[in-house]
Structure 1
Amino acid sequence: MQLTSLPTRVIFVRHGRSTYNEQGRYQGSSDQAVLTANGHRTAQLVGQALQSEKIHAIYSSPLKRVQQTVDAICDQLPSKAIPMDVRDDLREIDLPAWEGLPYKTVRTHQVDTYRCWIERPHEFQMARCPHSSFDAERAAPESFYPVRDLYGRAQRFWHTVLPQHAGQTLLVVSHGGTIHALISTALGLTPEQHHCLQQSNCGVSVLEFPPAANFAQLCQLNDTGAIGELLPKLKAGRQGLRLLLLPVEPEMPLNGVPDFLEEIHLDFSLQTHGLISDFQTAQLLSNHPETVQLQVQREDFIQAWQQTLNLRGQQSSETLLTGLVIASPDKIQALLMQIIGIAPHEDDLLSLNPGRMSVVHFANSQSRPILQGLNIYTNCVKRHNSVSPHNLLVAV
Structure 2
Amino acid sequence: MTEFLLIRHATNTFVSTGRLAGWTPGVELNEDGRVQAAALGERLAGVKLAAIYASPLERTVQTAEAVAIHHTGLTVEQLDGVGEVRYGTWQGAKLSNLRRDKLWENVQVYPSRVQFPGGETIRQAQARAVDAIEQIAQRHPDGRVAVVSHSDIIKLIVAHFLGAHIDFYQRIEISPASLTILALGSSRPYIVCVNDTSHLPRREPPPRPVNGRRRFLRFFGGH
TM-score above 0.5, yes or no: yes
1:359-378 to structure 2, matched below 5 A, reads: 363=212
Query: What is the CA distance between 1:66 and its match in structure 2?
Result: 0.9
Query: What is the CA distance between 1:364 and its match in structure 2?
Result: 7.7
Contact persistence 2:61–2:76 (CA under 8 A):
no
Aligned to 1:226, what secondary structure does the other structure show? coil
Is residue 117 of structure 1 aligned with residue 117 of structure 2? no
Aligned to 1:202, what secondary structure does the other structure show? coil
Say if 1:217 and 1:191 are closer, same or farther in 2 by CA, change over 3 A. same
**Misfit runs of 4+, over 6 Å:** 364-367
Normalized per residue, which structure has more strand? Answer: 1
Q: Which residue of 2 aligns with 1:192?
A: 167
Q: Which residue of 1 aligns with 2:72?
A: 80
Normalized per residue, which structure has more helix? Answer: 2
Say if 1:162 and 1:212 are closer, same or farther in 2 by CA, change over 3 A. same
Structure 1 CA distance for aligned equivalents of residues 80 and 161 of structure 2:
19
Q: Which segment is superposed worse, 186-195 or 54-63?
A: 186-195
Q: Which residue of 2 aligns with 1:283?
A: none
Q: Which residue of 1 aligns with 2:10?
A: 16
Say if 1:65 and 1:163 are closer, same or farther in 2 by CA, change over 3 A. same
Larger Rg: 1
Structure 1 CA distance for aligned equivalents of residues 215 and 45 of structure 2:
38
Contact persistence 1:119–1:366 (CA under 8 A):
no
1:111-190 to structure 2, matched below 5 A, reads: 112-128=102-118, 145-190=120-165
Question: How many residues matched?
Answer: 217
Q: Which residue of 2 aligns with 1:306?
A: none
Query: What is the CA distance between 1:48 and its match in structure 2?
Result: 0.3
Q: Which residue of 2 aligns with 1:225?
A: 198
Give CA deviations for 1:242-287 in whole Å, capped at 9, x if unaligned. xxxxxxxxxxxxxxxxxxxxxxxxxxxxxxxxxxxxxxxxxxxxxx
Question: Structure 1: which 5+ runs fail to align?
Answer: 1-6, 129-143, 240-316, 319-362, 371-396
Question: Structure 2: which 5+ runs fail to align?
Answer: none
% identical equivalent positions? 22
1:43-122 to structure 2, matched below 5 A, reads: 43-75=37-69, 77=70, 79-82=71-74, 84-107=76-99, 109-110=100-101, 112-122=102-112
Query: What is the CA distance between 1:230 and its match in structure 2?
Result: 7.6
TM-score norm. by structure 1 comes to 0.51
Aligned to 1:116, what secondary structure does the other structure show? helix
Structure 2 CA distance for aligned equivalents of residues 29 and 194 of structure 1:
21
TM-score norm. by structure 2 comes to 0.87
Q: Which residue of 1 aligns with 2:30?
A: 36
Aligned to 1:205, what secondary structure does the other structure show? strand
Ranked by relative contact order (alpha carbons within 8 Å, sequence separation 6 or more), the top structure is 2
Say if 1:19 and 1:364 are closer, same or farther in 2 by CA, change over 3 A. closer
Query: What is the CA distance between 1:67 and its match in structure 2?
Result: 1.1
Aligned match for 2:186, one of 191, 202, 212: 212
Query: What is the CA distance between 1:216 and its match in structure 2?
Result: 1.4
